[in-house]
Amino acid sequence: MKNSLIVALDFANKQEVHQFLEPFGNEQLFVKVGMELFYQEGPSIVYELKEKNHQVFLDLKLHDIPNTVGSAMRGLAKLGVDLVNVHAAGGKDMMMAALEGLEVGTPAGFVRPKCIAVTQLTSTSEEQMNREQLINVSLEQSVLHYASLANSAGLDGVVCSSHEASIIREQVGADFLTVTPGIRLASDEVQDQKRVATPEFARGAGVSAIVVGRSITRAEDSVQSYHQYKQAWEGVLK
Ligand SMILES: O=c1ccn([C@@H]2O[C@H](COP(=O)(O)O)[C@@H](O)[C@H]2O)c(=O)[nH]1
Q: Can you give the three-state secondary structure of 176-216, one letter per residue?
A: CEEEECCECCCCCCCCCCCCCECHHHHHHCCCCEEEECHHH
What is the chain's pLDDT, residue by residue, as a tens digit (238 residues)? 889 999 999 999 999 999 999 999 999 999 999 999 999 999 999 999 999 999 999 999 999 999 999 999 999 999 999 999 999 999 999 999 999 999 999 999 999 999 999 999 999 999 999 999 999 999 999 999 999 999 999 999 999 999 999 999 999 999 999 999 999 999 999 999 999 999 999 999 999 999 999 999 999 999 999 999 999 999 844 4
Provide ipTM, 2 decimals.
0.99
Q: How far away, in angstroms, is 108 Cα from ligand 1 center?
A: 32
pTM score of the predicted model: 0.98
From 30, 122, 222, give the residue whose CB has the most ligand 1 atoms within 8 Å, as the site to mutate: 122
Q: % helix / strand / coil in the chain, to the nearest 5?
A: 50, 15, 35
Decide: 106 and 112 in contact? Cβ < 8 Å. Answer: yes
Q: What is the pLDDT of residue 238?
A: 41
Q: CA distances (Å), 88 to each of 14, 47, 95, 115, in order?
A: 30, 27, 7, 11
Indicate which residue's Cα is closest to atom 18 of ligand 1. 34
Any binding-site annotation on 10?
A: yes
Ligand 1 site: residues with CB under 6 angstroms? 8, 10, 34, 118, 121-122, 159, 181-182, 193, 211-215
Residue 104 neighbours by CB under 8 Å, 6+ apart:
74, 77
Query: Does the 4-234 domain belong in CATH 3.30.1110.20?
Result: no
Measured CA to CA, the distance from residue 141 to residue 136 in angstroms comes to 10
pLDDT recorded at residue 210: 98
pLDDT value, residue 237: 45
From CA 145, how far away is CA 114, in angstroms rounded?
Answer: 20
What is the CA(181)–ligand 1 centre distance, in A?
Answer: 5
φ and ψ of 180, to 5 deg:
-125, 110
Q: In whole angstroms, how far apart are CA 103 and each of 77, 108, 115?
A: 8, 10, 11
What pLDDT shows up at residue 105?
Answer: 98
> 13-39 as b/e, with b when 16 or more CB fall inside 10 Å?
eeeebeebbeeeeeeebbbbbbeebbe
